[in-house]
Structure 1
């Protein structure tokens, strides 16, 4: 009797093309200081305002560092699967020094408003156009999330506001949600985005539905990322509308960059608190 042939090893999951695989944003500056190639510089349209320059530099660095990153977090195991929608992958980044002027909420005490964070109905990046759907502001931050540990952490972090906005691409291919938490200080924001590296499968923002339909499901594929910005913590959630894995024609990089256009309000607050923090 012939001995059974050894079972072939299961190939590791390959990196999905078009997936954002987000990496750490770095402190802004001029494009040449970022070491960008001419091609990378041509991908960027710099606005004339101080805020536009700061936003572009930081966010572009975030995206460029993501391209070519081959790290692929494993999907949730069967034991970790829950009925609540949450991303399949997550990466969190601490607050850059650029946001030092708003390190504490006492330096930036004015409450956020939905109109401030979601002032326009359309966000555009490359070939992707996102249209704003539902928005919501919760004064009780635990009401905007599921997961007891996350809700308790928000309470300990002195969270006073949670703002959510959902987007759908003009062609109906993509969905996205942006969530911004107003916390006590940078330490609390850093701790939140980093703790979700291990905890996002057990706690995440509630999907904000519109017309009785939620943008994300527990069975579909999606990606999440977290960024601390001074005393704020932002969570980005993106995916295909049909819940399928991203394919060769899917541009999750531009999708991530587009939805983060909501962060312009935070940059404006930095400039308002300390105008000298803007680049010359």
Structure 2
């Protein structure tokens, strides 16, 4: 080493090799110490932020849980209260008196015997408009309030036996309507579009209560559901009511009436007049007879056709080829004259 070269820093008496790293100076040691402390501070900063993030996630989870519980409570409330947010559900009831009306040799049953002959589907205008918006006869008038036409026939009835009978009869349409009268009586009319007249008879039979031994409660096969549960329809079947199932070719028409002020099934009254009047709901089918080349009864187009309507004309419940629709006489043997309930 030349005397003019500065000596290499380091320990006295030891020459540093070129491959050895230079020992850090005091300034470098201080910088490294600050860097380590700064790194620890940054790490500490991240640890301080983690609790905040955890609290945010917990808040979101609690909020989601509260919303889910509210939704579940709402669903359970409507499910168990039978309330769908405004519209009341119809009650599963049946009439105190039920009869099947079947005229074996009628012109209607011949012309409308099957859906193969009568292929045109029912429509709302045909069933619920024109003359069926208001139905009158027998000195009694009804006004249409609710109506429904659906391809889901099971939605128009309750009871497994009746639902099964509709499926077996290949039901493709079910129409229902509610009617109110100023003469203190209300009713429901239902029509089912079935494959043939045999299916119509089978469904009518399926709605009958089975015969049982005295004191034995029969298993209810089911019946028609009202399209509305609003007052007074929410009381249908809880008071004394009567229904006729009228075989109308491959259609089954069910007419069900009840006095507005009836509160017990034991309050027996004659319901012949309202049953006969609401049976005029079948007038659209008389028009179909004419469309298919049959002989429609006079006045059918004007809504006054009366062929096959049970008891039409005299209010006695007797019609050509029909069973009577009068109620059975009371236990004391007295028979009330047919009249409008509530008079």
User: Which of 157, 161, 181 is equivalent to 1:169?
Assistant: 181
Gap runs ≥5 in structure 1: 1-82
User: Which of 121, 138, 155 is equivalent to 2:150?
Assistant: 138
User: Which of 112, 121, 129 is equivalent to 1:102?
Assistant: 112
| Deviation (angstroms), 1:278 | 6.0
Say yes or no: does 1:84 pair with 2:92: yes
User: Which of 231, 251, 259 is equivalent to 2:250?
Assistant: 231
Contact 1:94 1:194 in 2 (8 A): no
The equivalences for 1:203-222 within 5 A come to: 203-209=222-228, 211=230, 214-222=233-241
**1:193 corresponding residue in structure 2:** 204
Separation (CA, whole Å) in 1 of partners of 2:185 and 2:296: 36
| Deviation (angstroms), 1:207 | 1.6
| Deviation (angstroms), 1:153 | 1.0
**1:156 corresponding residue in structure 2:** 168
Contact 1:93 1:193 in 2 (8 A): no
Separation (CA, whole Å) in 2 of partners of 1:152 and 1:126: 36
**2:139 corresponding residue in structure 1:** 127
| Deviation (angstroms), 1:277 | 7.0
Deviating more after overlay: 210-219 vs 195-204? 210-219
Q: When the two structures are superposed, what TM-score results if normalisation uses the length of structure 2?
A: 0.52
Deviating more after overlay: 223-232 vs 189-198? 189-198
| Structure (1 or 2) with the greater strand fraction | 1
**2:313 corresponding residue in structure 1:** none
User: Which of 92, 116, 135 is equivalent to 2:126?
Assistant: 116
- Determine which structure has greater relative contact order: mean sequence separation of CA pairs < 8 Å that are 6+ residues apart, divided by chain length: 1
Gap runs ≥5 in structure 2: 1-90, 211-218, 299-343
Q: When the two structures are superposed, what TM-score results if normalisation uses the length of structure 1?
A: 0.63
Count of aligned positions: 195
**1:34-91: CA deviation from partner (whole Å, max 9, x where unpaired):** xxxxxxxxxxxxxxxxxxxxxxxxxxxxxxxxxxxxxxxxxxxxxxxxx722101111
Separation (CA, whole Å) in 1 of partners of 2:119 and 2:234: 32
Separation (CA, whole Å) in 2 of partners of 1:239 and 1:123: 16
Separation (CA, whole Å) in 2 of partners of 1:134 and 1:278: 28
Change (3 A) 1:241 1:101: same
Change (3 A) 1:158 1:198: same
SS of residue matched to 1:154: helix
SS of residue matched to 2:235: coil
| The structure with more radius of gyration | 2
**1:184-226: CA deviation from partner (whole Å, max 9, x where unpaired):** 0011111221232336943111122265763534421111111
SS of residue matched to 2:116: helix
**2:189 corresponding residue in structure 1:** 178
| RMSD of Structure 2 on Structure 1 (CA) | 2.5
Contact 2:245 2:255 in 1 (8 A): yes
